[in-house]
């Protein structure tokens, strides 16, 4: 594996950004319910993809309500799971799975890993917007901030 592995960095950033989003939501006593819904969705989606990669059924639904304590636990499990998967030698291996509508697909592992990272970025931006609209100040989750803190 190369010294600088962009996919590994992408997922290190994802775990860091998930953690900072949790800190932001915990800092707001009355955080917007939609923000928690989106955060739980991000973590549940990460979980679902990990389970698909491992070829086992998922334990969470994609829009399942999850409290902040359970979100924290799930975020740590997801981070450990993606660290394990990223270490795989064959990132181009095909992963066969069914989407939530029951349609079967086969996708290279690498593309799934890129997708789930981008999916989280998209929704964390929405969460930040909701937090700001409610008068809160979200911690930045931009990749460049991560890079500055973890060169």
**Ranges of residues in the chain whose predicted pLDDT is under 50:** 1-2
Q: With contact defined as beta carbons under 8 Å apart, do 137 and 131 qualify?
A: yes
Look at residue 89 in the predicted model and tell me its pLDDT.
79
* 97 CB neighbour count, 10 Å cutoff: 16
Look at residue 4 in the predicted model and tell me its pLDDT.
82
Find, among 111, 126, 103, 36, the residue nearest to 74 by Cα.
36
pTM of the predicted model as reported, rounded to 2 decimal places: 0.95
Residue 58's alpha-carbon distances to 38, 53, 61, in angstroms, are 18, 11, 8
Look at residue 116 in the predicted model and tell me its pLDDT.
97
How far apart are the C-alpha atoms of 42 and 115, rounded to whole Å? 12
> Exposed (0-12), middle (13-18) or buried (19+): which is 125, by Cβ within 10 Å?
middle
Look at residue 3 in the predicted model and tell me its pLDDT.
62
Which tokens hold the place of 77? 């499990």
Q: What domains lie within the chain, and their CATH numbers?
A: 6-146 (1.20.120.450)
Which uninterrupted H or E stretch holds 104? strand 104-108
């Amino acid at each position: 594996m190369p010294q600088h592995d962009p996919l590994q960095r992408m997922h290190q950033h994802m775990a860091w950004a998930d953690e900072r989003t949790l800190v932001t939501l915990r800092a707001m006593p009355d955080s917007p319910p939609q923000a928690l819904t989106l955060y739980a969705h991000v973590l549940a989606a990460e979980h679902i993809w990990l389970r698909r990669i491992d070829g086992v059924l998922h334990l969470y639904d994609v829009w399942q309500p999850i409290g902040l304590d359970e979100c924290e636990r799930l975020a740590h499990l997801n981070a450990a799971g993606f660290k394990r998967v990223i270490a795989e030698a064959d990132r181009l291996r095909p992963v066969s799975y069914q989407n939530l509508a029951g349609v079967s697909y086969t996708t290279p592992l690498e593309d799934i890993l890129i997708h789930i990272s981008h999916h989280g970025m998209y929704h964390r931006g929405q969460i930040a917007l909701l937090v700001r609209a409610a008068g809160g100040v979200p911690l930045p989750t931009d990749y460049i901030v991560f890079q500055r803190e973890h060169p």
